[in-house]
Amino acid sequence: MIPPEPMPLPPPPSPSPSPVDSVLGLAPVVPVLVLPDVSAAVPLARALVRGGLRAVEVTLRTPDALEGIRAIAEQVPEAVVGAGTVITPGQVAASVAAGARFLVSPGWTEGLLAAMRGCGVPFLPGVSTASEVVALLERGVREMKFFPAQAAGGTAYLRSLAGPLPQARFCPTGGIGPANAAEYLTLPNVGCVGGSWMVPADAVAAGDWARIETLARAAAGLRGPASAQV
């Protein structure tokens, strides 16, 4: 009697992504993406990763944003995808459910802050004044988005905050590009900057991923190797 062939073993499950401890340690520059449609999400994220920028912030400004986050989370595991322009508790839950591994908001309220603190991923609530920084420090939050960076005082303002509020650290976003990003990154209270200059709309529309990769590589080199925490 011929023994039955052994049943094939099922494939091992895909490993879960490592948790992100801090958004500020992922890369010197976090690309801020406004996806025109979901089809651009995966090739765009892959081009950025090849260029050395693993953290990818997809803003919730377009109808396809959540599906774009989901596609990047599933198909580009080497990327660390997050959601930006998060302004409601509902968006917090939807973003995390789609696979976002960090959240960024242009500002904060008590309700939004509570939702972000309970969501299980790191977050950067937005501030633009010293009072807002103090209020977040009072609530135990030390990492923040400084927005709109240039309009709110730029490097001079952040340098002024470093003396009385050294425990606060920032990701400045808004009006930052290749001409001034390096200056922001020299500040002791700046962990990274956010911007979109490495993902110009015409390159995204044309599918010019090689150009985006080149721009990403230049941005990644603004302050040495990224110390990824994932």
Q: What is the pLDDT of residues 48-90, one digit of tens each?
A: 999 999 999 999 999 999 999 999 999 999 999 999 999 999 9
- pLDDT at residue 228, rounded to an integer: 38
Looking at the predicted structure, is the pLDDT value of residue 2 above 80?
A: no
User: Are 42 and 76 a contacting pair, CB within 8 Å?
Assistant: yes
- pLDDT at residue 21, rounded to an integer: 84
Q: What is d(CA 46, CA 68) in angstroms, rounded to the nearest whole number? A: 13
Residue 219 has a CB neighbour count (10 Å cut-off) of: 26
Average pLDDT value over all residues in the chain: 91
- pLDDT at residue 14, rounded to an integer: 47
Q: What is d(CA 67, CA 137) in angstroms, rounded to the nearest whole number? A: 34
- pLDDT at residue 63, rounded to an integer: 96
pLDDT digits (tens, 9 = 90+) for 85-144: 999 999 999 999 999 999 999 999 999 999 999 999 999 999 999 999 999 999 999 999
**Strand runs labelled E in the chain:** 29-33, 55-59, 80-84, 103-104, 123-124, 126-127, 143-146, 169-172, 193-195
210 — pLDDT class (breaks 50, 70, 90): very high
Just list the catalytic residues: 57, 145
- pLDDT at residue 5, rounded to an integer: 46
- pLDDT at residue 226, rounded to an integer: 39
Looking at the predicted structure, is the pLDDT value of residue 16 above 70?
A: no
Looking at the predicted structure, is the pLDDT value of residue 17 above 90?
A: no
Q: What is the mean pLDDT of residues 190-195?
A: 98
pLDDT digits (tens, 9 = 90+) for 150-159: 999 999 999 9
